[in-house]
Structure 1
Amino acid sequence: MEDWGPVLIAVVLFVLLTPGLLFQLPGRGKTVEFGNMQTSGVSILVHAVIYFGLITILLLAIGVHVYVG
């Protein structure tokens, strides 16, 4: 059986945490901006740290597994 949990979690988090797609933290004019489709270097760094933290918690601490086959 193949474990697709890490792949699915990584793809979903990558799409949801793309800076400017759903939200941007920090925004250009405000602390949080929603759906502005713009980004900055600081925003990329913040979203990367959030991504790393969430993927670490979900894959290592909780141990999400999805078996196919």
Structure 2
Amino acid sequence: MGSSVAERGKMSDWGPVFIAVVLFILLTPGLLIQVPGRSRYVEFGNFQTSGVSILVHSIIYFGFICIFLIAIGVHMYVGS
């Protein structure tokens, strides 16, 4: 059967939440990658961070969030 308008109103959009969580995990400074690193420009998996790398990763995170949520418009609907 087709879904009615009332049933579609109960659906939740989890796309922004999913994208934000995945980007947060991937762009945590020092977890997978750190730009700039302590001894090199890019370091991988060193589990350290600095104020500059937090700023750089925050700007990259903001850019990707804008691209995925505003420009592309990622949506994942889950019905209850």
Q: Does 1:36 align with 2:46?
A: yes
After the TM superposition, which segments of 4 or more aligned residues of structure 1 sit over 2 Å from their partners? none
Residue of structure 2 in register with 1:15 after alignment: 25
Structure 2: segments with no counterpart, 5+ residues: 1-10
Q: Supply the AA of the counterpart residue of 1:45.
A: L
Equivalences, count? 69
Structure 1: segments with no counterpart, 5+ residues: none
CA distances 1:32-52 after superposition (whole Å, capped 9, x unpaired): 000000000000000000000
Q: Using the alignment, how far apart are the partners of 1:47 and 1:60 within structure 2?
A: 19
Question: Percent of counterpart pairs with the same letter?
Answer: 77
Q: Using the alignment, how far apart are the partners of 2:25 and 2:72 within structure 1?
A: 21
Q: Which has the larger radius of gyration?
A: 2
Q: Does 1:65 align with 2:75?
A: yes
Q: Using the alignment, how far apart are the partners of 2:49 and 2:66 within structure 1?
A: 24
Q: Please give the TM-score of this superposition, normalised by the length of structure 2.
A: 0.86
Residue of structure 1 in register with 2:63 after alignment: 53
